[in-house]
Amino acid sequence: MRERFLFISIDPDIRSEESEVFARMKSYARLCDELHILALIPANDNWNQRSDNLCVHGVRGLSRLARFIRGFFKVLSITKRQKFTGIITQDPFFLGFLGFAVGRIRHLPVSAGIYGSNVFDPYWRRESLQNRLYALIGRFVLPRVSVIETDTHELVGELEERFGVPVVWKPVIPQNIERFKIARRAYNRVPLKVLFVGRLVPQKNIPLLLATVQKVNERWSGKVTFTIIGSGQYEKEVRDATGDTVAWLSSVERDTMPAVFAEHDVFLLTSYHEGFARVSIEAAASGMPILSTRVGGVESVVSDGISGYIFGQGVSAEVLAGAICDLENHRDRLKKMSEAIQDHFWNNFSRESLARNQSKLFNVLATARQAYG
């Protein structure tokens, strides 16, 4: 039987053939006979795109509920017309439930992805009633799928133990990641430049970020500067903190980000929770030691004390400030950490290794499909 997979997505960029998402899906399609994508995104019409063995189906509907209902019947129709090997869903929530329901009807194995929202993360659940609802749906769906995929390496063992199904580690790496690779970094520039990139929202623990900036300025003023890039509800607080040692940019062009990373020495991440944050991937690729709270994905690129520092939730600004200034005072340590994080990243996140992980996901679904008969 031909290996034909159906991927259910809500990523709006899939509609553009010039997008990074479309390019990534084309690379996945090269690993099987056919890859179909059902995109549940806001649209006024049904639409379809085809490129070689990749077919994208759009479902019209301006509301999420309308797209979910129409998507359900669209998946039933697609899987009735052609034989599929398995269904892949982008999340374990409504998309995961949709895939689970169709999988039961059509006797197909289903994969659910955990990308960014760990259903067991107390900080994520605490943020909103919606997240608590999502967690309940996820806990229903995950034990009932054939395989789970996650971008967070440290979650693999926990998920396998909790749900008793195979778990495939499959981080999403930016298509332009090679542009972040820096052949030679400067380790002795003064002052030391610290970078933060992210939305200025509660999830990112902006008060801890600003308190760390204040502690550094109180004790080591002039030796360390900060650049904060992002927008959101904490803009006023960040703007008030700007000065000789703190620069704030609400946004920068995506094409200029490799140069921004090259101009800085240390990356700071203060979040309560993350998936595998894109910015930590880019920082590691460029050879920036990462100072981060313990969030999803960070342990995939940082070895604590070797290529950066990982701190438990609840870490004080004083401790973070001390770690930053320790690197300012010991440039040899900064150099070793920079080399370690960049070597680890490029040895473990090559396109070949990521393709093997995607192939593993396809193979697990294909094996499960045989059990359905």
Mean pLDDT to the nearest integer, 163-192: 86
Q: Are 224 and 191 in contact (CB under 8 A)?
A: yes
Mean pLDDT to the nearest integer, 266-284: 93
CATH of the domain at 323: 3.40.50.2000
Residue 111 dihedral angles phi and psi, to the nearest 5°: -110, 140
Kind of pairing between the strands at 192-197 and 266-269: parallel
Which residue did the predictor score with more confidence, 307 or 254?
Answer: 307
Residue 35 CB partners (closer than 8 Å, separation 6+): 4, 5, 7, 25, 28, 29, 53, 54, 55
pLDDT of residue 205: 96
Cis peptide preceding 289, ω within 30 of 0: no
Task: Count structural domains, the chain.
Answer: 2
The model carries a pTM of 0.87
Asked which of 186-190, 222-226, 365-369 is least confident by mean pLDDT, the reply is: 186-190
Helix (H, G, I), strand (E, B) or coil at 206: helix
pLDDT of residue 154: 82
Asked which of 31-45, 72-86, 240-254, 333-347 is least confident by mean pLDDT, the reply is: 31-45
Whole-angstrom distance, CA of residue 320 vs CA of residue 268: 9
Which residue did the predictor score with more confidence, 224 or 351?
Answer: 224
Q: Are residues 146 and 207 in the same domain?
A: no
pLDDT of residue 324: 97
Considering the chain, what percentage of its residues have pLDDT values greater than 70?
97
Q: Are residues 133 and 207 in the same domain?
A: no
Confidence of residue 45 (pLDDT cuts 50, 70, 90): low
Q: Are residues 116 and 223 in the same domain?
A: no
Average pLDDT of the residues of the chain: 91
Tell the residue number behind the tokens 């979650």, with chain if given. Answer: 155
Supply the angle between the helices 64-81 and 94-106 in degrees, to the nearest 10: 30
Of 7-16, 20-29, 124-133, 280-289, highest mean pLDDT: 280-289
Q: Are residues 206 and 236 in the same domain?
A: yes
Supply the angle between the helices 129-141 and 94-106 in degrees, to the nearest 10: 20
pLDDT of residue 44: 60
Q: Are residues 183 and 328 in the same domain?
A: yes
Domain of 263 in residue numbering reads as: 177-347
Q: Are residues 79 and 116 in the same domain?
A: yes
Q: Are residues 188 and 304 in the same domain?
A: yes
Q: Are residues 198 and 290 in the same domain?
A: yes
Q: Are residues 167 and 207 in the same domain?
A: no
pLDDT at 192 over 70: yes
pLDDT of residue 1: 61
pLDDT at 186 over 90: no
Confidence of residue 115 (pLDDT cuts 50, 70, 90): confident
Q: Are 274 and 297 in contact (CB under 8 A)?
A: yes
Asked which of 8-17, 209-218, 327-336 is least confident by mean pLDDT, the reply is: 8-17
Q: Are 291 and 266 in contact (CB under 8 A)?
A: yes
Q: pLDDT digits over 220-253, tens only?
A: 878 999 999 999 999 999 999 888 889 999 999 9
Q: Are residues 36 and 141 in the same domain?
A: yes
Q: Are residues 129 and 225 in the same domain?
A: no
Q: Are residues 138 and 11 in the same domain?
A: yes
**Separation in Å, CA 271 to CA 124, 180, 201, 202, 312:** 11, 23, 10, 8, 11
HEC states along 210-229? HHHHHHHHHHHCCCEEEEEE
Supply the angle between the helices 206-220 and 317-329 in degrees, to the nearest 10: 50
Which residue did the predictor score with more confidence, 9 or 189?
Answer: 9
Confidence of residue 43 (pLDDT cuts 50, 70, 90): low
pLDDT at 148 over 80: yes
Mean pLDDT to the nearest integer, 312-339: 95
